[in-house]
Structure 1
């Protein structure tokens, strides 16, 4: 197992000597990460602060060794099988595609728990959500892991290049019915979603644009149900003049691959696309109602830098709107699961059976509302908070926090810290100091008056009450304290 928590816990005055990130540093690292632990905090300090850490994460993610995250891939070997092999195994009832895709979700969750490259991970998740191919599907599952790898490769690169690679990827072609689209019967699904969801945005195209978009994309093919090989069939490509918005081409060649690339690059550089991407980024990383002035600024940066993603992220983080947005976003289900494992310092081991923690965490995310990339519609995982801000979600999070605070479920192939990590063996500690120590450990911030009061009500302890290893809180009540901290807005908000 690999240690992901804060290591040896210290309490009381000794804990106060441990440097915490400043509020502004914590805001940046939390918004572009999955929860602060000791390793992440140390990475920030060694980099020279959060801004320097962020820049290195953007431009030199390889500077952060990530072997603990990389090794997890070996836990689920089906993710590296070829599409035809995956299909044959499903047909022969060796292993269904839905099971392979569950492995994909689990791999993502454990990787996010372990990674030292959270910005790359976060942006890969962002683009997989926007250029969405759901993990559920009886055909495109064969190519879905490869599709995720394609997005990961371009997640901090240029959007125009990523758009070409994702639009023509077999997983996307299969999902949106373009894999069998022909000049005789052009399927409009991909042509429409490309315009509405991936580039220009709703209301910025016409039905004629959709028809021309579909014709441009004819010829891309996947051999469904047999070899699952991807190819380009010139005989299936529509020829004749095509026009979408300001893009026009006589389209006389039977081979339309260059036409597709030119068209997608045109869309990627369109001002409406710039606005669409900027708005989604600002909604995800700033707040649900980002000011139009911020969106406009980010769109200009995007266009000025030839669709490069990194300059846009720099501008977003440097904005006053971002600096003022701390605590104004709610973690979605997967983020809550990952952040809880990281906060508690739970060691996740290779699954030995169906009841292992690495298996169960997918059910935990589903129980809160959604497992990774399981959103069924083409519009992708929502980046707004309102869909997650419900009573059922709150109750689900509280239930998960409670079961993990006690180390009750999941428990197989996991290692939880014990109360001894916080309560000293010899000298008793005041309850208020204990709450502060736990808050600094789990949340990387001092305990607020509100958190202390919440913890007092949850445990029945008084602020000045002395806690030692004979105290009932240590003996059986400690999960109440941990759950109170995890249920607080300081953990659920980011």
Structure 2
């Protein structure tokens, strides 16, 4: 027999397991636990035929992917466990990419050169903002479907650290290529990455290095290099910024001409320079080697090691990582010539990482991508304007932000409180609702039909909830989750679900959305 009429979905925020918000330090606040009698009524079942990874393995894969799925869990098992999977992921060339057939040609302008992109905008053929929105969609697709999940997560981390917003006026000419440069070095040495991004035309354009000359050194890139990209505040002064700017003169971009990047010796400011404990005679008009030595010094600076390792811990451990963990990771970083892979190995081996499950809130992009992955949606090319691959970006925007569009050089926040407002949570509920129901988008996407979510008929509701929890959330169900599902659907725990049951015929979206609204999905 069905329970009384289910309440509206938003009233479930007050029910057990109905929602998650980030409290102080990004901790997840769960709704009140049910009374003892209710716990007995909502005792979960176990659908053993649907396997899940052990909790520790699930934690590792969840932190270093965009959402654990049955296919990814099977891949982890085939690899011999999460640790072996992680090691293989650290060598992305050894992993099949797995992107849809023909994906590289979905947005032709992402392969166009900078001058052609600029000319197309000037001729009103295609605006730069359109190209950049398509780049954001390209990125969302990669996050959703690539099997190189660790490499993609680290690419996002570095594109955020070395932020060049996609909504800049001129940098769009080189922005997609900039992303490729970061992706190719995301699991390499920080020193190599720092040199590549600092001298890249997208960064030079965004932070005015392209206009900086010995006659008029521009301090924007020089300051952000110190403040944001390497040593951080409190380690340098204004004279250091000025010297840093002089070191970087000579790198340029032919703005409004060929848009090609290069080096002009006549624009380089020569003469002695000192930045903190780095000093050089700077006698040569060709300052490229000076730039390399200067950036190498910054990459190996203890303050840089601490800053980079703290950000890695913020991203992958907790919103308040201990100073002991940061110091330990920094020692690994310096001992390994700024290589990132040894730092990641040390991070996941730490007790602090192992004890941090459920303490990181998914940001809007992670939420939408994880939802597409959890629902097993298949997305095709953008054959028309409202195609799913286009709508995906709008869905992320509805949650409060879009990928790579943070408007300041400091990059989007890595802490949960930035993404945990009531309006964000309700917007996530709405996104989960429409995707669970298959209502929008409708074009260029394939949804699983409701009967496909049921492993066998008939089945009791509590068994179905456990199966779906294992499928969608990749973990066994709990009493709190079962109660929330019963409240959302109006179905009692022991009720038999048949092929003709109203849940299968028209209410499956209520059950799926409740799973997606749970703390297990809203955190990683």
Does 2:242 correspond to 1:211?
yes
Which residue of 313, 317, 339 maps to 1:286? 317
Contact 2:50 2:467 in 1 (8 A): no
Matched, 1:26 2:58: yes
Aligned to 2:407: 376
| Residue in structure 1 matching 2:485, options 447, 452, 455 | 455
- For the residue of structure 1 that corresponds to 2:252, the secondary structure is strand
2:46/2:476 contact within 8 Å kept = no
Q: 1:159 to 1:70 in 2, by over 3 A?
A: farther
Q: Secondary structure at the match of 1:68?
A: coil
**1:28-107 matched pairs, under 5 angstroms:** 28-58=60-90, 60-68=91-99, 71-107=102-138
Which residue matches 1:8?
none
Q: Secondary structure at the match of 1:94?
A: coil
Secondary structure of 1:144 counterpart: helix
Q: 1:484 aligns with which of 514, 519, 523?
A: 514
The 5-angstrom pairing of residues 41-190 of structure 1 reads 41-58=73-90, 60-68=91-99, 71-190=102-221
Residues in 1 aligned to 2:271 and 2:133: alpha-carbon distance in whole angstroms: 44
Following superposition, the deviation at residue 157 of structure 1 comes to: 0.4
Q: CA deviation at 1:55?
A: 0.7
TM-score normalised by length of structure 2: 0.90
- Residue 70 (structure 1) shift: 7.4
Q: CA deviation at 1:62?
A: 2.4
Q: Which one of the candidate residues 388, 392, 402 is aligned to 2:423?
A: 392
User: Structure 1 pair 162/359, CA: closer, same or farther in 2 (3 Å)?
Assistant: same
- Superposed displacement of residue 424, structure 1: 5.6
Question: How far apart in 2 are the matches of 1:444 and 1:67?
Answer: 21
For 1:333, the equivalent position in structure 2 comes to: 364
Question: Does the 8 Å contact 1:368/1:397 carry over to 2?
Answer: yes
Shift of 1:63: 2.5
Aligned-partner Cα distance in 1 for 2:262–2:106: 31
Provide runs of 4+ in structure 1 moved above 3 Å: 12-15
Contact 2:46 2:466 in 1 (8 A): no
Aligned length: 481
Q: Using the alignment, how far apart are the partners of 2:47 and 2:105 within structure 1?
A: 37
Larger relative contact order (Cα-Cα within 8 Å, sequence gap ≥ 6): 2
How far 1:19 sits from its partner (Å)? 2.6
1:221 counterpart SS class: strand
Cα distance, 1:51–1:213 mapped onto 2, change above 3 Å: same
Q: Pick closer, same or farther for the CA change 1:424–1:222 going to 2, 3 Å.
A: closer
Deviation at 1:188, TM superposition (A): 0.3
Partner of 1:411: 442
Q: Does the CA contact (< 8 Å) of 2:266 and 2:285 recur in 1?
A: yes
CA RMSD, 1 decimal: 1.4
In the alignment, the residues of structure 1 paired with residue 123 and residue 169 of structure 2 have an alpha-carbon distance, to the nearest angstrom, of: 14
In structure 2, stretches of 5+ residues that fail to align are: 1-43
Shift in alpha-carbon separation, 1:61–1:286, aligned structure 2, 3 A: same
- Distance change (3 Å), C-alpha of 1:424 and 1:329: closer
Q: In structure 2, how many angstroms separate the alpha carbons of the residues matched to 1:483 and 1:345?
A: 14
Note the C-alpha offset of 1:394. Answer: 0.2
Say which SS state the counterpart of residue 142 (structure 1) adopts: helix
User: Could you say which residue in structure 2 is the equivalent of 1:441?
Assistant: 471
Say whether the 8 Å CA contact 1:154–1:162 is kept in structure 2. Answer: yes
Please give the per-residue CA displacement for 1:445-477, whole angstroms capped at 9, x wherever unaligned: 111111101111111111011111222222211
Q: Per-residue displacement from partner, 1:33-92 (whole Å, max 9, x unpaired)?
A: 01112221121111110001101111x322221242574222111101000000000000
Contact 2:51/2:470, CA 8 A, preserved across alignment: no
Q: Tell me what 1:432 maps to.
A: 462
Deviates more, 1:363-372 or 1:78-87: 363-372
Q: Is the 8 A contact 1:240 1:250 kept in 2?
A: yes
Given that 1:219 and 1:234 are in contact with CA atoms closer than 8 Å, whether structure 2 keeps it comes out as: yes
